[in-house]
Structure 1
Amino acid sequence: MKKNNKNRFVSILCLILIVAMIVGCSNNSGGKSPQSSSGTDGEGGKPVKIVYLTPGDSAAKPIQPDDRIIAEINKRLGIELEIKFVPEGGFEKVNVAMATGDFPDLVTAQYPSSSLSQWMEEGLLVPLNDYLPQMPTVKEKLEGQFSWTAVDGNYYGYPFIEEKSNVSMTYRADWLKTLNIAPPTTLDEFYEALKAITNGDPDQNGQKDTYGLTGTKENGFNTSFNFVFYAYGLPYGDWILDNDGKVAPVFEHPAFKSGVEYIQKLWKEKLIDPEFLLNDTQQREQKFFQSKAGFMVANLFRHVNRLEKSLKELTPAGELGFINPPAGPEGKHGMVGKPKGGLFTAITTKAKDPEKAAQFLEFMLSPEGRELLELGIEGVHYTKDGDKVNYNEEERAKDNFASNGWSHPLAWGNVVWPLTRNYLPNTEAQADRAKESVEIATSNLVPNLVNVTTPEEIEMGGVFGKGILSELANQYYFDMISGKVDIDKGLAELSKKWREQGGDKVLAAVNAAYEAQQK
C-alpha cells in the first residue's frame, strides 16, 4: 500500500512538471514575455518598479511619498514609479551613480557629454528604435528635428534641446522716456542711447553713476555682447566657412573684428559697466534694478513680471522694456546661437521592463502626460470654466505643486521646459508680454553651421562655452576690448595659439562632421 502511494505521488509530480514546462514554453514564444506588455514583474502580478534618476527643476519642491500624481501615473501605466532627483545641473552625481553600476531604469544626463558618449559605447543604454511605434510623440521629434542625434542609426534616448529662445535685449523704458530717446534699432542708435544713459543722469539723482550696458562673466561673450557680432554679419552661432569652404573659428570672420572694435569703443568711453566680468546673473539684474545700468541681455518669458516687479520695488516709476537687438550697417541682427545641447533621457540596460520604461518616457511628453503634470487631476487639483483653469491651490499644495498655477515637481527639467511648450498658468500677470518676448527672442536665434558637437569639442572646447580653447579665446577677447592687446595683433596671435593648443584637432573633427552633414 505504501509503495503504491509512493508511485502515485511520483506520477503526479512528473505530471505537474510536464505541465509547467509546456506553460513555460508557451509563455516564451514570440521573444517577449507577457509581463512586458502587462506591466507586471512576475512576482504575484505586482506592477513593474521603474526608478528614474533626473536633475529635475531647482525651483520645484520635493515629491512626497503619498503623491497623488505619481499614484495616477502608476495607475495609468501599470508601474511603480520611484523618482530620484539630483540638484538641477548636478550631472556629476548622475555620472557617479552610473559609474557604480547601480544605475536606474531611466536616467536624464547632460547632452552632449563625454560620459553620455561612453555609456553608448559601452552598451549601457537601450536603443529606442524598436519601441518608437508605441511612442508617437517621441517618434515624431526624433525622426523630425532631432534626426541628427542618431548614432549609427540608433536613437539612444530623447534629446531635449530648446527650440525657442527667451534671451532678449532688455532696457529701462522709463529712462529712455526721461531722456526723450526712442528705443534703438541700429548699432549707431544703440551707441547714442548708451552714451545718453551714461552721461545724461537718467535717474535724476544729480550724480554720474549710471552705465549704458551691463553683462556677466558667464559664458564669456556668448550671451553678453554677441549681438554686436551678428549685427556686423557673423552668419552662424558656432563656426564659419573660410574662403576654401572649410570650417574655421568665428574669430577669423571680418564681422568679429568689427564687433570687437565696436565693443572696445563702448569700453573706452566707459559706457559698459566696468565690473561686468565680476557679475553673475543675479548681480547683473541687481544693477539693473538699482539703477546702475540701462541695458542688459536677459532671459525673459516667465521672468518678465518678476523683473519688472523687482524693478518697481526699488523704483516705483521703473518700466521694463525689451526690443530686437540693434542692426548693423547691412541691416543684419541676431542675439544668440541656436543651442546644440541640453538634456538626454535614456533607458538603461538595467531596466526591468524597457517597454514600460519607454511607455513612461512617451507619457511625459504626450499631451495626456503634460496635462497631468502641468495641471494635475481634474476635479481635484483644478477645474475648468471653458478655457479658464481654476487652480485648487490647497489640494495642489498637498502634492507639492509650485504655487500660483505652476506645475508638479516632475513637470520640468527632464524632457521639457515651460518655454518649449509656451506654458504659462492662467495666473501669469503679464502673459501677453511674456509670450511677445519669446516671439522676439526666437526670431533672433542665429543658426548653426554644424548640427552636432564633436567629442573633440567636448574635450577641448571651441570658441564659445567651456574648455581650454574657449578659455583662450575668451582671454584674448577681453584683452582686446579692454585695450590690453592690439586688435589686429590679438586676432593673429589667437588664430595661431588656438590651433596649436588643439584647435587643429577640433577643426579636423568638425570639418568631418560638416562634410557628413552635407551628404
Structure 2
Amino acid sequence: MKRYRMGMISLLLLAMVGVAACSNNSAPSSQSASSSGNPSTGNSKDPYVIKVLHSTATNIKKSDETDIGKAIKEKFNIVFEYVSFTGNELDQMNLMLSAGNYPEIVRLSDNSVLDKYIRAGALLPLDDYLKDTPEFKKRYEAQIPLWRLPAHDSKLYKWENNVPTDYRNNLEALDIAVRIDVLEKAGWPKLLSTDDYIQFLKQAMKDNPTTNGQKTIGMTIPFAEPWGIQGISGIMYEKGGRYSTAGGNLGVIWNQVDEKYEDYMENEYVKENLLFFNQLYREGILDKDSFTDLLPQSTDKQLSGKALSTWYPVIVDNPTAVKSGHPEWQMINLPIRSKTQIERNEKRQIRVEDTRSFEMYAITKNAKHPERIVELLEWAATEEGKILLQSGIEGQHYKVENGKRVATEEYKNIVNDPTQSSQVGFRMFPFLGYVGTNAPDGVPYDMKMDPVLTDEMTLSPELKNAYTQLGWTDSKQYWRETGEAAPTGIAATIGIDSTSDLGALQQKMVDFRVKNSTKLIIEPKSDEDFEKLYSQTVSDYRKLEPEKVVNMYNQLYQEKLEQLKSLK
C-alpha cells in the first residue's frame, strides 16, 4: 500500500557531479577501496565536492566523515556535502523548475512532475550513454522499459532507488498486531480467520478488563488519517490471492492474477472487511474513537497498554513499551484472512515494487559533466558498488565465510542506530541507488534485509519467545510460505488526470466510499442489517456510473502494455 502507507519518504534533493568508472566487480575490501589504481580512473580526475540537499536530520556534514564516504573519496576522488532542507517537496520541485536553478541531479517524486521537467527541456536523456553502461543496463533490465513509459517521447530520463527487489528480503505484510501477554494468557492460539479474531478479542477483553488501571479496548485504528477509512478499511482485499495494492486507494483495485482493474467499492473482499469491522463494532471490540483518532492517538493507546490489538500496524513502538517497564505490552504482527479467502486458500499476492515513481532521479541540463555522472552510476551498479554502498567495508562491517558475507558484531551494533549507521555511511547515498535483491553469494546486498538477521538485531527476547511459542522460525515465515511475488509493473504507473471529467468522477467514487464505509461499520445492528444497507449503498453507488472509470483504467493499461512491448 505504498501510495498511502504513510508516505514516509526521505526527501533528497541534490546537486551532484560524479566521477570515475568501476575497476573490477569483486566485493570491496578496505584495501581495494583505497586503491587509486588505473590512471584513467580514481584520483586522476580532479577532486569534486558535491552539495546534496538532505531533509533527514544528520550530524554528518561531508561524506568523507563516514567509512563508506572515505572509501568512495579514495577510489573516486569525490566528496558529498550534505545541506539540510525543509519545506514541501512538490513545491520545491516546481519552484526549482520555474526558476531554472535545479541541481545537476534532481530527485523527483511524482510522474506528473517528471513530465513537467521533461517537457521543459530540463532533463537529459540517458539513451546515448547506455552503450557504455553494461552493468547499469543489466541491473535495471526490467525497469528501463518501464521508466520510458512516462516520457512523451519514450526516451529514458530517470533511474530509481530501491529497485529491483526481492519480496522475501523486503516483505511488507501489515495485517493485525496483538499484545503478546494477551496471546500468552490465551495459550498462544493460532489465529487466522476474522471469526478467530472476533472470538479471541471478545474473550481477551473479558480476561483483561483493565490495564494499568485503565479500561482496555479491543482494537484501535487511526481511521481519521487521510489513508484511514479511504485506504485501510477495505485493505482485506490484499490478504487473499487475487489482488495487490498496485492500484492505490482511489477508485479501482488491481487484480494481479487476471491483470485487470476492478471497482474498489464493490469488491467482495472489501465488503467482507467492512462486515468484519461492523461485527467488531457491535461486539464493543473496535474503539469508537477510531473514527476521530489519528496515528499519534492510536499509538498512544498501544503504548499505554489500553489497546489489545491494532489493525494494519504501520507503527508498533515496541522499544518504548520495553523502556516504560512493560515488555508484556509489546505487539507482534499476525496474519488475518476473510472467510472467502480461507476457503479459496490462494497464494497471497505480495506487492513487489519494480518501479518507484515516488523516488526518481534524473540528470538535468545544468550538469557540467553528465558523462561522469553516468560513469558513477555505472560503478554503483557493479557488484563492488552495490556491496560497498549497502554492506560497508570488508573486515569492518562484514567478513566472508564459506563464500558468503557474514555481518560483524560491529555491524549488528550500529546498523539500526540512525546516528551510528550514518557515521558509517549507510543510507547516506540513495542517489546512487540501493537494491533489495541478493548478491551472488546468496546474501542480500543490504545484509539487514535477511529475515533471520533482522529478527536477531531487532526483536526483544520477549518477541523472539512469542514467535517460538507460535511455532514460527522468524517473524515473516507465514507470509513467505503463503505468498508469492506480485510485481507492480505497468499497473503502478496508470492514473487518470484529476482535472478531467473522469478524474472528477473518480473523486466522487472515493468520497462516496469513504462516507458510506463509515456508515456500514457503525450503523448495522446485525449481519442482516449489514446486507440490507450494503445492497442499498451499492445501488446508490452504481448511479455514479463507476464503470466509466474502471473501463478507462483498463483501456490505459492495454495502451501502456502495447507501448511497453514496442520498447523492449
Task: Give your verdict on TM over 0.5.
Answer: yes
CA shift digits 1:470-493 (9 cap, x unpaired): 445323322332229932233333
Kept in 2, the 8 Å contact 1:54–1:414? The answer is no
Taking the aligned partners of 2:266 and 2:157, their CA distance within structure 1 comes to 36
Taking the aligned partners of 1:282 and 1:228, their CA distance within structure 2 comes to 23
Task: Name the residue aligned to 1:268.
Answer: 282
Q: CA deviation at 1:315?
A: 1.8
Task: Name the residue aligned to 2:371.
Answer: 355
Kept in 2, the 8 Å contact 1:170–1:320? The answer is yes
The one of 408, 418, 427 equivalent to 1:389 is 408
Task: Name the residue aligned to 2:336.
Answer: 325
Q: CA deviation at 1:355?
A: 1.6
Taking the aligned partners of 2:520 and 2:101, their CA distance within structure 1 comes to 49
Paired AA for residue 183 in structure 2: L
Q: How many residues align?
A: 465
Q: CA deviation at 1:345?
A: 1.3
The yes-or-no answer on 1:430 pairing with 2:449 is no
Taking the aligned partners of 2:323 and 2:261, their CA distance within structure 1 comes to 47
Any unmatched runs of 5+ in structure 1? 1-34
The yes-or-no answer on 1:209 pairing with 2:209 is no
The one of 139, 147, 150 equivalent to 1:149 is 147
The yes-or-no answer on 1:102 pairing with 2:101 is yes
Taking the aligned partners of 2:87 and 2:408, their CA distance within structure 1 comes to 29
Paired AA for residue 258 in structure 1: E
The yes-or-no answer on 1:235 pairing with 2:243 is yes
Task: Name the residue aligned to 1:514.
Answer: 558
Mean alpha-carbon deviation: is it higher for 176-185 or for 197-206? 197-206
The yes-or-no answer on 1:293 pairing with 2:307 is yes
SS of 2:491's partner is coil
CA shift digits 1:272-306 (9 cap, x unpaired): 12222444444333322322222224568xx88x6
Taking the aligned partners of 1:363 and 1:183, their CA distance within structure 2 comes to 48
Paired AA for residue 488 in structure 1: S
Paired AA for residue 96 in structure 2: A
CA shift digits 1:364-395 (9 cap, x unpaired): 4544334444465567x758586342539999
Taking the aligned partners of 1:445 and 1:215, their CA distance within structure 2 comes to 28
The yes-or-no answer on 1:160 pairing with 2:200 is no
Change (3 A) 1:236 1:410: closer
**How well do the aligned residues superpose, as a CA RMSD in angstroms?**
4.7
Q: CA deviation at 1:351?
A: 0.9
Task: Name the residue aligned to 2:514.
Answer: 474
Q: CA deviation at 1:104?
A: 0.9
SS of 2:408's partner is strand
Kept in 2, the 8 Å contact 1:231–1:328? The answer is no
Taking the aligned partners of 2:107 and 2:86, their CA distance within structure 1 comes to 12
Mean alpha-carbon deviation: is it higher for 483-492 or for 320-329? 483-492
Task: Name the residue aligned to 1:256.
Answer: 270
Mean alpha-carbon deviation: is it higher for 224-233 or for 148-157? 224-233
- Normalised TM-score (structure 2): 0.66
The one of 102, 109, 113 equivalent to 1:115 is 113
The yes-or-no answer on 1:369 pairing with 2:375 is no
Paired AA for residue 514 in structure 1: Q
Q: CA deviation at 1:184?
A: 0.8
CA shift digits 1:80-116 (9 cap, x unpaired): 6444453598343233223321111112211x33211
Kept in 2, the 8 Å contact 1:289–1:310? The answer is yes
Q: Give the percent of matched residue pairs that are identical in Structure 1 and Structure 2.
A: 18
- Normalised TM-score (structure 1): 0.71
Taking the aligned partners of 2:313 and 2:555, their CA distance within structure 1 comes to 32
The yes-or-no answer on 1:86 pairing with 2:85 is yes
Paired AA for residue 307 in structure 2: A
Paired AA for residue 102 in structure 1: N
Taking the aligned partners of 1:406 and 1:418, their CA distance within structure 2 comes to 19
CA shift digits 1:405-442 (9 cap, x unpaired): 97445145873488985542988243996994455556
Alignment of 1:397-476 (within 5 A): 402-403=420-421, 407-408=425-426, 410-412=428-430, 415-416=433-434, 422-424=446-448, 428-430=457-459, 436-438=474-476, 440=478, 443=483, 451-456=491-496, 470-476=510-516
Taking the aligned partners of 2:240 and 2:392, their CA distance within structure 1 comes to 48
Any unmatched runs of 5+ in structure 2? 1-18, 22-38, 248-252, 438-443, 468-472, 525-529
Change (3 A) 1:422 1:51: closer
The yes-or-no answer on 1:490 pairing with 2:532 is no
Paired AA for residue 115 in structure 2: S
Taking the aligned partners of 1:439 and 1:385, their CA distance within structure 2 comes to 26
Kept in 1, the 8 Å contact 2:107–2:360? The answer is yes
